[in-house]
């Protein structure tokens, strides 16, 4: 690629944040030869992206939905000259039901092209996609076994569900001075837990799919810059995000898919450093927890937590929970009144 060519490559990513980070790396690596890059993701004005496309970028990085939007609606935009297609985090792309959009993109690009498909797990859907878009592929496999690194200390705490928030606060107190990534199952939980932890004095920021793009990036940047030490996230944030160092991963909700556990705890103990994960297991999570131990082949150790000591936090945590519920109610009411105002 000595002389960059318009629409030379398209890189597809499952999330906006990952697409933006990939684009930053493309621009950094390509600056010496004048590579221009455009980012096509939701949450950002389509007109601004159409203007960027009119400047004939060499490399496009985007999420499948927004790329299809531009193929359908942006005048003069097509991918007929494309030479390279890259599908990053292919398993996640397909888990997030982008199959239809990927199919449309495959129909819009030349058959004569190079395709690279990257996936942390080789699911049936990924194998099907591989058969559909790769011809005589070369397969590079790093590790077939689902494993966690030896420098990761994996712990769990087995608790009654009604005291879950109390135990979370206890774990954060016990490991104070660390940076934390707390994983939850839903966007609502992410919001609630971040607010509750703030009310308890922790520097917590949330990141989830219902936040606007600028807010998601703002939260992520605060965490990366060390302005906040607790990032509360859904699994959207557990893959591909460029967060250099996390000391502790807390699984507030045990993941439904055991392989997601591997991705979550992969945020810590990187590049030979030590790290820790703590999984909060309630009476309803035992089966999921056992599946994780079976998949990883690791028998987790118990995190030391004396019930009496933990429940000393109960009153403060209950107050923080109530305040968080009020804050969420007020924020939601504010959003509704804004929408109502616009309609009027």
Task: Give the tens place of pLDDT for each residue, 314-342.
Answer: 999 999 999 999 999 998 888 776 665 54
> Are 115 and 225 members of one domain?
no
- Residue 331 placed within a domain: no
Distance from C-alpha of 138 to C-alpha of 298, rounded to nearest angstrom: 32
> Are 129 and 192 members of one domain?
no
- Residue 77 placed within a domain: yes
- Residue 66 placed within a domain: yes
> Are 317 and 172 members of one domain?
yes
> Are 42 and 95 members of one domain?
yes
> Are 95 and 157 members of one domain?
no
- Residue 23 placed within a domain: yes
- Residue 335 placed within a domain: no
> Are 186 and 238 members of one domain?
yes
- Residue 217 placed within a domain: yes
- Which class for 225: exposed (0-12), middle (13-18), buried (19 or more C-beta within 10 A)? exposed
105-152 pLDDT, tens per residue? 999 999 999 999 998 777 788 888 888 788 888 888 765 556 788 899
Cβ atoms < 10 Å from Cβ of 229: 20
> Are 74 and 174 members of one domain?
no
Q: What tokens were used for 88?
A: 């990053």
Cβ atoms < 10 Å from Cβ of 68: 20
> Are 88 and 157 members of one domain?
no
Q: How far is CA 7 from CA 49, 135, 322, in A?
A: 14, 22, 52
Domain boundary among 88, 105, 133: 133
Distance from C-alpha of 229 to C-alpha of 114, rounded to nearest angstrom: 41
Q: Where are the alpha helices (DSSP H) in the chain?
A: 16-30, 46-54, 64-73, 90-95, 99-108, 124-133, 164-174, 187-199, 213-224, 258-265, 286-296, 307-311, 314-343
- Which class for 43: exposed (0-12), middle (13-18), buried (19 or more C-beta within 10 A)? middle
Half-sphere exposure (Cβ direction) of 279: Cα atoms closer than 13 Å: 27
> Are 202 and 117 members of one domain?
no
Residue 247 Rama label (left phi>0; alpha psi -120 to 50; beta): alpha
- Which class for 283: exposed (0-12), middle (13-18), buried (19 or more C-beta within 10 A)? exposed
- Residue 142 placed within a domain: no
- Residue 3 placed within a domain: no
Those residues with Cβ within 8 angstroms of residue 8's Cβ, 6 or more apart along the chain or in another chain: 1, 58, 59, 81, 82, 83, 84
> Are 109 and 191 members of one domain?
no
Domain holding 71, by residue range, is: 9-133
Domain boundary among 133, 164, 194: 133
Q: For the chain, what is the domain count?
A: 2
Domain boundary among 103, 133, 163: 133
Q: Name the 3-class secondary structure at 171.
A: helix
**Exposure string over 44-64, b if 16+ CB within 10 A, otherwise e:** beeeebbebbeeebbbbbbbb
Q: Check: pTM over 0.85? Answer yes or no.
A: no
Query: First-to-last CA distance in the chain?
Result: 54
> Are 168 and 310 members of one domain?
yes
Across the beta sheet with 9-12, what order do the strands follow?
Answer: 37-40, 59-62, 9-12, 84-87, 114-117
Looking up residue 78, the CATH number of its domain turns out to be: 3.40.50.300
Distance from C-alpha of 5 to C-alpha of 83, rounded to nearest angstrom: 9
User: What pLDDT score was predicted for residue 134?
Assistant: 82
- Checking DSSP bridges between strand 59-62 and strand 114-117, what pairing results, if any? unpaired
Evaluate whether 169 touches 312 at the Cβ level (below 8 Å): no
> Are 295 and 176 members of one domain?
yes
Q: Name the 3-class secondary structure at 333.
A: helix
Q: For the chain, which ranges sit under pLDDT 50? A: 1, 342-344
User: What pLDDT score was predicted for residue 323?
Assistant: 98
């Amino acid at each position: 690629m000595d002389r960059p060519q318009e629409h030379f490559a398209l890189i597809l990513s499952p999330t906006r944040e990952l697409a933006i980070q990939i684009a930053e790396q493309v621009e950094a690596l390509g600056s010496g030869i004048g590579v221009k890059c455009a980012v096509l993701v939701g949450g950002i004005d389509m007109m601004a992206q159409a203007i960027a496309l009119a400047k004939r970028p060499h490399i496009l990085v985007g999420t499948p939905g927004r790329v299809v939007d531009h193929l359908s609606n942006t005048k003069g935009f097509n991918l007929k000259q494309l030479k390279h297609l890259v599908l990053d985090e292919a398993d996640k792309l397909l888990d997030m039901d982008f199959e239809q959009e990927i199919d449309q993109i495959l129909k819009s690009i030349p058959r004569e092209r190079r395709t690279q498909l990257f996936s942390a797990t080789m699911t049936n859907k990924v194998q099907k996609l591989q058969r559909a878009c790769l011809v005589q592929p070369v397969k590079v496999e790093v590790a077939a076994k689902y494993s966690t690194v030896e420098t990761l200390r994996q712990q769990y705490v087995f608790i009654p569900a009604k005291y879950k928030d109390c135990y979370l606060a206890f774990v954060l107190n016990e490991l104070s001075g660390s940076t934390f990534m707390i994983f939850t199952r839903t966007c609502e939980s992410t919001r609630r837990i971040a607010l509750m932890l703030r009310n308890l004095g922790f520097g917590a920021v949330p990141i989830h799919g219902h936040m606007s793009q600028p807010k998601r990036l703002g939260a992520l940047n605060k965490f990366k810059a060390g302005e906040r030490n607790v990032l509360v996230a859904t699994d959207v944030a557990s893959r591909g995000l460029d967060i250099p160092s996390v000391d502790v991963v807390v699984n507030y909700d045990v993941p439904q898919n055991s392989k997601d556990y591997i991705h979550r705890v992969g945020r810590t103990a990187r590049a030979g450093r030590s790290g820790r994960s703590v999984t909060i297991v309630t009476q309803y999570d035992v089966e999921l927890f056992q599946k994780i131990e079976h998949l990883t082949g690791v028998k987790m150790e118990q995190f030391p937590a004396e019930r009496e000591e933990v429940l000393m936090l109960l009153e403060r945590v209950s107050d923080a929970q109530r305040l968080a519920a009020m804050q969420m109610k007020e924020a939601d009411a504010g959003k509704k009144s804004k929408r109502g105002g616009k309609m009027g």
